[in-house]
Amino acid sequence: MATAPGYTPTDRTTARRKPERASYDPALVHAILDEALVAHLAVLLDGAPRVLPTTFARIDESVYVHGSLANRTFR
């Protein structure tokens, strides 16, 4: 699979199930992020997984997640 410059798959980011559906093209990744309204942020708290739906925004190559530092998910 050819990859676009800037997004080279690693062991942690390589699609293993249906890899033909994966894309590492920055323009496509940006388009998907820009269209989404909600992100599902997954973290491990006290040894258990937690998923928090939250709003987010992408600016260039950074993704900003809405939340409060009072919420331990963001600490």
Number of domains in the chain: 1
Domain that holds residue 52: 22-74
Domain-located, residue 3 = no
| SS3 assignment, position 19 | helix
> Exposed, middle or buried by CB within 10 Å (0-12, 13-18, 19+), for 49?
exposed
**pLDDT tens per residue, the chain (75 residues)?**
454 466 898 999 899 999 999 999 999 999 999 999 999 999 898 999 999 899 999 999 999 998 888 887 777
* Residue whose pair of structure tokens reads 């987010």 in the numeric block: 56
Spatial separation of the C-alpha atoms in residues 11 and 69, rounded to whole Å: 31
Residue 1: inside a domain = no
Tokens standing for 29?
A: 């990744």
Residue 69 lies in a domain: yes
Does the residue 8 lie in any domain? no
Q: Is residue 11 one of the residues assigned to a domain? A: no
Is residue 53 a contact partner of residue 67, using CB atoms and an 8 Å limit? no
